[in-house]
Structure 1
Amino acid sequence: MADKEINRIIADTFLKLADTLENGAQAPRAVIALTALGSEHGEDELYQAAAMAAKQGIQVKVIGTKPANAPGVETVSISTEEEGHEALESLLDSGAAQGGVTMHYPFPIGVSTVGRVITPAKGKAMYIATTTGTTALDRVEGLVRNALYGIATAKACGVAEPTVGLLNIDGARQAELQLLKLATNGYPIRFATSGRSDGGVIMRGNDLLRGSCDVMVTDSLTGNILMKLFSSYHTGGNYESVGYGYGPGMGENFDKLILIVSRASGAPVVQGAIEFAAELAGGDYQRVFATELKAAKQAGLDAVLAGCRVQKQPVEVSKAAAPPKEVVTAEIHGIEILDLEDAVQALWKENIYAESGMGCTGPVVLISEAKVEQAKGILLSKGYIGE
């Protein structure tokens, strides 16, 4: 046996001994599998990431074509990407690895990934829920579920009471209404407040940069773009250098800990993803997720999600005539852009003059100062705004 191989075995032995002394014989650190083929930066970049993670005390099984030469890193030899994914599944199914990091995985509908980034303004970690996959076929239902996925992920990583914000995108206002229903019914959501002067749970660009919330709720396409921006804004985009990757696939009845990185992810991000996986495994993420889901269902989650899926009634052919024009200087916020004109029509039918507009935080209904409360009551009763 070559001296180099003997030295590696000795180093591995001491690493395991140190891990046992630190964590106890009954609580070994998680073993994380990493597929190495397919990176735009070459296979060696992934081996480097594995070695970096191993220095933090994580045992890594690299699924690749080359032998490992770093303490705490073992190679599972394959020759193609297809073989690599088969090996990943085998390691997870057998329990030889407690989590996996890979560049692609065919998650079923209902499962999407929660990423974690470092926000540039204050260097704070923030969870992006979600970043890949399809949570639900209905947009608002997807955002509500994404909030739960983000909360569970953050809690499994040690954030006891994560604050939740919703990015200012289509569907955010309706998702806010549904989450408020859950909160009213007893599900403990700690809503974040925007750093902008007008506050609120709807987050804007400034809030992304400064990390105004622990969990930022968005759709997975927007989340995917955000991950790329946060991870590679220093490098021009072709090398992701900062953060923890696109995160674990979360969803009901999905019991494998699989985290996604990009083909553009460099060694620092892949290392972060491996550490992220080890945190989740050590934090018993499945138990945490089950606990959150149970609490949400006890607060009426199923009814809330069913309400998200209710299709809108066909728009009436006849439009209401506009009441006499008035000076409109007051703004009513919290209306989805796609519902804005319908909300104006609803007020016209009640003989209240209103106009549609766009404020700094999104769409608004413009109304006279004297009729604000009356108009809010009408819009609330018809489901256009929340209390």
Structure 2
Amino acid sequence: MNSNVNKIIGKTFLNIAKELEKKDFGKTFNIGVTVLGSELGTDHIIQAAEEDQRKLGVNVVLIGPKMDTYLDIVEVQTEEEAHHKLEELLFKKEIDAVVTMHYTFPIGVSTIGRVVTPTGKSMFIATTTGTTSTNKIEGMVKNTVYGKVVAKSCGIENPTIGILNIEGAKEVEKQLKKLVEKGYDLTFGQSKRSDGGVALRGNDLIMGSCDVVVTDSLTGNIIMKLFSSFNNGGKEEVVGYGYGPGIGFGYENKVFIVSRASGANVVRGAIEYAAETLKGNINCVLKEEEEKLNKLNFNDFLKENIKEKKVIAQTVKEIPKEIVTAQIAGVDIMELDNAVAYLKEKEVYSEAGMGCTGPIVMVNESKEELARKLLKEGEFLA
């Protein structure tokens, strides 16, 4: 047989073996669920857990006081005891994941929420609780990776990525595109608004324009609450899968968060979410992505590219005013004043403005091409 054919067959079987290794076929997962702390009582949690055990073929272990249920119970009397116990059970591998309320993650770990849009599409929000980094831009870049990991573990091989149009979004887009140029595999989605682009507006959230929405945790947390409780008057979260698993490089505990206001549907969704990511071997997917990034010297990339920019807006050079009718979009709101000052240093008069889709730099039409070139050189545009 031709040696090239042998190589192709060998590579095919190797790839199949790797895929099989990622899956845990036939394994029954043990998923813990803490009961104490809900604003809605305990009955709905027990109901959701019992239904999911029957439906999903997982073993649900309740962590709380003695209850009337056929499920396994690890008895504790307080929320503090419950959190100590869940960590012990995870450490001893007596449970594979846990669904709980109000959990404190270390810096570097944050959660990937999952909502159901009004169009019926499932959408991941990266991130919703915790803090990936104290630097917002760095945090959102890492959130992109973590959102991709969780989506892949749920069976979406090439999840589309969109960045919520908030402060820092343009800088995040620029850094992600640099990372792609270095060889990292990301699939950017597009806004469904007429002007398109990676930046997502509120309409895109409703439509579910991308599989993964990248944002900071505080904004993501608000999105989760709106999507899960808007059709119930805000008091109870009734739609979705909860705030998701805490994820970060080197962090292997699978702790899934729900709110104290999460109703039975959301608790049920969170258990299902946990089971799905476990079957997709989320830890294996995370390690694979980390290895890819290590080959690209990801940590060095972050140090070199994400740093405080020199503030130049305080010493704006005065040059003659011009009529400014050309609009240049794409500069982040946090860098808008610096971008204007930078152009004036280069003898191009400009003004800051705010269009319907975000911040803009306004210049004379005859200087637009030059201004765009300068803003790219100054790293204000992606």
Displacement after TM superposition at 1:330 (Å)? 1.9
Q: Is the 8 A contact 1:35 1:63 kept in 2?
A: yes
Partner of 1:118: 116
Give the 5 Å matches for 1:280-299: 280-299=277-296
What is the identity, as a one-letter code, of the residue corresponding to 2:62? V
Distance 1:329 1:341 in 2: 18
In 2, are the aligned partners of 1:152 and 1:288 still within 8 Å (CA)?
yes
Which stretch of the first structure deviates more once superposed, 144-153 or 367-376?
367-376
2:186 aligned with 1:203:
no
Q: Aligned partner of 2:358: which letter?
A: G
User: Could you tell me which of 256, 266, 276 is aligned with 2:263?
Assistant: 266
Equivalent-residue separation in structure 1 for 2:339 and 2:377 (angstroms): 11
Answering whether residue 150 of structure 2 is matched by residue 167 of structure 1, we say no
Task: Give the AA of the match of 2:251.
Answer: F
How is 1:237-386 mapped onto 2 (pairs within 5 angstroms)? 237-315=234-312, 317-326=314-323, 328-386=324-382
1:37 maps to amino acid: L
| 1:59 CA drift (Å) | 1.3
Equivalent position amino acid for 1:49 in 2 = A
1:68–1:75 Cα contact (<8 Å) kept: no
> Partners in 2 of 1:75 and 1:109 — Cα distance?
31
CA contact (8 A) 1:29 1:282 kept: no
SS in 2 for 1:101: strand
Post-superposition offset of 1:252: 1.4
Query: In 2, Cα distance between the equivalents of 1:367 and 1:77?
Result: 68
1:308 offset after TM fit, Å? 4.6
Q: 1:325 to 1:25 in 2, by over 3 A?
A: closer
Query: Is the 1:244–1:272 contact (alpha carbons within 8 Å) kept by the matching residues of 2?
Result: yes
Equivalent pair of 2:191/2:198 in contact (CA under 8 Å): yes
Instruction: State the distance in 1 between where 2:146 and 2:131 align.
Output: 12
Which amino acid is the alignment partner of residue 66 of structure 1? K
Within a 5 Å distance, the mapping from 1:84-163 to structure 2 comes to 84-120=82-118, 122-163=119-160
Is 1:67 matched up with 2:67? yes
Higher deviation after alignment, 226-235 or 83-92: 83-92
* Aligned Cα root-mean-square deviation (Å): 1.6
Give the structure 2 partner of residue 82 of structure 1.
80
Please state whether the residue corresponding to 2:213 is helix, strand or coil. Answer: strand
| CA distance in 2 between partners of 1:162 and 1:38 (Å) | 34
**Do the aligned partners of 1:194 and 1:204 also contact (CA within 8 Å) in 2?**
yes
How many Å apart are 1:311 and its aligned residue?
2.0
Residues 34-45 of structure 1 aligned to structure 2 (within 5 Å): 34-45=33-44
Q: Does the 8 A contact of 2:313 with 2:341 survive in 1? A: no
Q: C-alpha separation between the residues in 1 aligned to 2:304 and 2:192?
A: 31
Report deviation, 1:329: 2.3
Runs (4 or more) in structure 1 with deviation over 4 Å come to: none
CA deviations 1:97-128 (Å, max 9, x no partner) are 100000022210000000000011x2100000
Partner letter of residue 50 of structure 2? Answer: A
* Paired residue secondary structure (1:34): strand
Structure 1: which amino acid aligns with 2:350? A
Is the Cα contact below 8 Å between 1:182 and 1:296 reproduced in 2?
A: no
Indicate the residue corresponding to 1:12 in structure 2. none
Preserved CA contact (<8 Å) 2:168 2:334: no
Matched-pair identity in %: 48
The answer to whether 1:232 aligns with 2:229 is yes
Which residues of structure 2 form unaligned runs of 5+? 1-22
| Alpha-carbon distance in 1 for matches of 2:129, 2:315 | 42
Aligned equivalents of 2:300 and 2:173: distance in 1?
Answer: 15
Deviation string 1:128-151 (CA, Å, 9 cap, x unpaired) is: 000000110101000000000100
Look up the match of 1:50. 49
Report the residue type matching 1:244 in the other structure: Y
CA distance, structure 2, for counterparts of residue 33 and residue 26 of structure 1: 20
Question: By how many angstroms is 1:25 displaced?
Answer: 11
Cα distance in structure 1, aligned partners of 2:321 and 2:142? 43
Q: Kindly indicate whether the alpha-carbon contact (under 8 Å) linking 1:157 and 1:280 is maintained by their aligned counterparts in 2.
A: yes
Give the 3-state SS of the residue equivalent to 2:309 in structure 1: coil
Measure, in 2, the Cα distance between the counterparts of 1:175 and 1:213: 16
Distance 2:301 2:354 in 1: 28
Offset from partner CA, 1:162-220 (integer Å, 9 cap, x none) = 00000001111101011001111111100010010000000000000000000000000
TM-score computed with the length of structure 1 as normaliser: 0.89
SS in 1 for 2:110: strand
Report which stretch shifted further, 109-118 or 90-99. 90-99
SS of aligned partner of 1:234? helix
Shift of 1:244: 0.2
Which ranges of structure 1 fall in alignment gaps of 5 or more residues? 1-23
TM-score using structure 2 length: 0.91
Aligned residues: 359
Secondary structure at 2:320 match in 1: coil
Summarize the Cα distance change of 1:300–1:178 in structure 2 as closer, same or farther, 3 Å threshold. Answer: farther
